Amino acid sequence: MSENLTVEVVYALPAKQPLVTLSLPPGSTLRQAIEASGLLQKHPEIDLAKNKVGVFAKLSKLDALLHDRDRVEIYRPLIADPKEVRKQRAAAGKVMKKGAGEGE
């Protein structure tokens, strides 16, 4: 099992999603893949102490070992709290429903 691992590292931005395919030695970690990808240099806003990371949409730790064909994902911080957005949407929906059907 001395063959290298093939992994992808992706960073989702609003307009584009840079994806880097790497060949790494067995026993490589998420941190090593991210560092080898060059994305930290291209996107200085990435802070591994703050940004969450994962493999195939499952949160993982930076020291987690990778498997062949894994997709390492670097997540951006949320702009808005999803719970708060849902509350606002629900409140707006109630206002709309009160006025619905009046013009019929």
CATH of the domain at 45: 3.10.20.30
* Residue 20 within a domain: yes
Q: What is the pLDDT of residues 72-95, one digit of tens each?
A: 999 987 776 778 778 878 887 766
* Residue 101 within a domain: no
* Residue ranges in the chain assigned as alpha helix (H): 30-37, 39-42, 82-99
* Residue ranges in 1-81 assigned as alpha helix (H): 30-37, 39-42
Q: What is the pLDDT of residues 36-73, one digit of tens each?
A: 999 999 999 999 999 999 999 999 999 999 999 999 99
**Rounded-to-integer distance, Cα 63 and Cα 95, Å:** 48
What is this structure's pTM? 0.73
If phi > 0 it is left, if psi is from -120 to 50 it is alpha, else beta; for residue 10 that is beta
Domain count, the chain: 1
Give the pLDDT of residue 95: 60
Q: What is the pLDDT of residues 94-104, one digit of tens each?
A: 665 555 555 54
Give the pLDDT of residue 104: 47
* Residue 89 within a domain: no
Give the pLDDT of residue 96: 58
Does 32 score more than 80 pLDDT? yes
Strand 58-60 with 53-55, pairing: antiparallel
> Domain span at residue 62?
5-77
Does 1 score more than 60 pLDDT? no
**Rounded-to-integer distance, Cα 36 and Cα 16, Å:** 20
Q: Which residue has the higher pLDDT, 87 or 27?
A: 27
* Residue 68 within a domain: yes
